[in-house]
Amino acid sequence: MSILIVEDELRVRAFISRGLTEEGFRVRECVDGAHAQELMRHERFALIILDWMLPGMSGLDVLRALRAKQDMTPILMLTAKDAVADRISALNAGADDYLIKPFAFDELLARLRAILRRVDNRATPLLSHADLTLDPSTRKVVRAGVEIPLTAREYALLQFLLEHAGEVVSRTRIVQAVWEHDFETFSNVVEVYIRYLRAKVDTPFPTKLIHTVRGVGYVLRSRA
């Protein structure tokens, strides 16, 4: 489960990131609204922890822009603003919850988990392409009526490809989304896991879905 932290204060960001990582979450970090919007265009997050006072574009502006695009990713706002009017502004703009600085990590974690429980109770849409289906709520992958067992990393890679079906995605984007590391450190890991995934998702079936675009990356589509 991937969490995006948008916070320009290094100590606060590191404090949250370390705690969430220890709790088993995958964490992405950025320090301003523009970078946050760029990350959100290319990746899907279970929840966003969004500071109000950011350089340039404020957290409230980021929130409003997301909701204007009908992006309903859960958002927990962080701020030093403690006036009732400010809390109302954030909630009315579409925040799922609001936490005032300074705060205890246990409270942040409790609020985060409460938001995620509410989200889990909603219907989770299936991801599908051609005869391949992935159910995020059960983590079940089925192709042509056959259930396909995947490792956690294979599942994350397939989910990313399905989320971007028809779009050519670079190796760098895949590493950042699935492994959350710099590409240079993981130079051949994508090729290795694409091979693993093809052996399970493509090889047993007549129509191949995972295609290599030489020199660019990979694309999931039903035609070569």
Beta bridge partner(s), residue 219 = 211
Answer for the pair 164, 220: CB distance below 8 angstroms, yes or no. Answer: yes
Across 22-53, b (16+ Cβ under 10 Å) vs e yields eeebbbbbbbbbeebbebbeebebbbbbbbbe
Q: How far apart are CA 1 and CA 46, in angstroms?
A: 6
Answer for the pair 124, 114: CB distance below 8 angstroms, yes or no. Answer: no
Determine the pLDDT at residue 80: 87
Question: Residues of the chain whose pLDDT is less than 50?
Answer: none
pLDDT in tens, 64-87: 998 888 888 999 999 888 788 888
- Over its C-alpha atoms, the chain yields an Rg (Å, rounded) of 19
Determine the pLDDT at residue 40: 87
Determine the pLDDT at residue 175: 86
Q: Where would I find the H helices in the chain?
A: 10-22, 33-42, 59-68, 84-93, 105-120, 152-163, 171-174, 189-201
Neighbour count for residue 66 (Cβ, 10 Å): 20
Neighbour count for residue 21 (Cβ, 10 Å): 12
Answer for the pair 105, 19: CB distance below 8 angstroms, yes or no. Answer: yes
Name the phi and psi angles at 133, rounded to 5. -135, 135
Q: Look up residue 193 and give its two tokens.
A: 């896991």
Considering only CA atoms, which of 124, 89, 21 is closest in space to residue 5?
21
Q: What pTM, to 2 d.p., does this model score? A: 0.57
Determine the pLDDT at residue 87: 83
SS3 170: strand
Determine the pLDDT at residue 122: 57
Q: How far apart are CA 165 and CA 209, in angstroms?
A: 10
